[in-house]
Amino acid sequence: MMFVLNNGSSLPPLNLITMATVIEANGPVYNGPGASKPSSPFVLCNLELSQRAAVEKAKKYAMEQSIRSVLLRQTQSQQSLQLNNIKKNQTVALLNRVYVGSIAYDVKEDSLKQVFSPFGPIKSVNLSWDPSTQKHKGFAFLEFEYPEAAQLAIDQMNGTSFGGRQLKVGRPSNLTNAEPVINELVNEHNLHNRIYVAGIHLDLTEDDVSLVFEAFGKIVFCKLQPDPTRPMRHRGFGYIEYESTQSAADAVGSMNQFNLGGQLLRVCKAISPPDGISSASSSNLPPAAAVAAASATAKVLSMETEQVIIDIIASSSS
């Protein structure tokens, strides 16, 4: 009997189709030729004195190499971390500096400091002096302690009339485009929800400031920079972090130059962490601790390789 498929081809007759035979996997189990060998392939043979000495020498060498390797990795890691911190500090130092031009000749450094201090603490004011005329050259460089203060000064003081002249305030020539640098810091430290607030009245507390700014969203923390010279007092500026980026943006848009307690607030998005960027990491180990840690690591590694060394010597002698 033939079967014809739809495509015209045909199957062979049923009597010519061979059926596969299924064999059940049961019956007695027999031991193979390797069954007489020891059950553990790692049974150690007794080593001769010279072989034991070779093992100890190899262990000592492995330990020394491991310690050198661990110490080298730790040193390289610390050096890389220090270089990154130095780079960050240099970047923040550039962002802290502000160029001020078109300064009236009768304006002194103290007057400049007083005008720009509402944006945040100032490290230095350097007027460029002409020794031949004993007058300054009409421009100066201000260095703030925090980059947010510098950014606010640029945004709000450029074109402002002071001493009868309109000030020209901007970035120094060695940092004409600061936006990519600022964006890198914001992304690296995840500062999208954090804002900087300056011009805070010294009699206001963190709770007072929080009550005002919580109208824009839930606050994660409000930290005013403490004054080391006056216990329980702040320096008039600080940071607020919200749960959402939108809350931070709304607070900046609404509270910048808002009169709170008789003083104008200066508010912008945060650029640097509240505690600043330290030049050295607290995770760096002292030399003695680094050696001890390297030794412990090497000990673990040598214990793992000791068995391999013994097996190699034992196999070579058999």
Q: Residue 193: give its domain's CATH number.
A: 3.30.70.330
Domain contains 111: no
Number of domains in the chain: 1
Alpha-carbon distance of 23 to 217, in angstroms, equals 74
For 83, other C-beta atoms within 10 Å of its C-beta total 10
- Asked if residue 192 has pLDDT above 90, the reply is yes
Give 9's pLDDT tier (boundaries 50, 70, 90): low
Percent of the chain with pLDDT over 70: 70
Please state which of the ranges 174-178, 186-190, 246-250 shows the lowest mean pLDDT.
174-178
Question: Of 161, 229, 168, 235, which Cα lies nearest the Cα of 197?
Answer: 235
Domain contains 58: no
Please state which of the ranges 31-45, 120-134, 173-187 shows the lowest mean pLDDT.
31-45
**The two three-digit tokens of residue 12, written as one number:** 């062979």
Residue 216's domain spans which residues?
189-275
For 114, other C-beta atoms within 10 Å of its C-beta total 12
Domain contains 45: no
- SS3 percent helix, strand, coil of the chain, rounded to 5, is 45, 20, 35
Which helix (H) or strand (E) segment holds residue 300: the answer is helix 287-317
- Asked if residue 51 has pLDDT above 60, the reply is yes
Counts for the chain of helices (H) and strands (E), in that order = 7, 14
According to the model, what pLDDT value does residue 277 have?
36
Pairing type for strands 10-11 and 3-4 reads antiparallel
**The two three-digit tokens of residue 315, written as one number:** 């196999």
Q: For 77-109, what is each residue's pLDDT tens digit?
A: 787 777 767 767 777 788 999 999 999 999 999
- Note the pTM of the prediction, 2 decimals: 0.63
Alpha-carbon distance of 117 to 207, in angstroms, equals 24
Please state the rounded mean pLDDT for residues 141-170. 96
According to the model, what pLDDT value does residue 123 have?
96
**The two three-digit tokens of residue 314, written as one number:** 């034992």
Percent of the chain with pLDDT over 90: 47
Mean pLDDT, the chain, rounded, equals: 81
Domain contains 93: no
Domain contains 68: no
Domain contains 218: yes
Question: Of 153, 233, 152, 244, which Cα lies nearest the Cα of 192?
Answer: 244
- Asked if residue 281 has pLDDT above 50, the reply is no
Task: Show the CA angle centred on residue 151, arms to residues 115 and 263, nearest 5°.
Answer: 45
Task: Select the more confidently predicted residue: 60 or 250.
Answer: 250
Question: Of 49, 160, 145, which Cα lies nearest the Cα of 101?
Answer: 160
Q: For 256-280, what is each residue's pLDDT tens digit?
A: 999 999 999 999 999 987 554 333 3
Task: Show the CA angle centred on residue 264, arms to residues 263 and 266, nearest 5°.
Answer: 130
Domain contains 145: no
* DSSP state letter for 286: P
Find how far residue 231's CA is from the centre of its chain.
Answer: 31
Domain contains 295: no
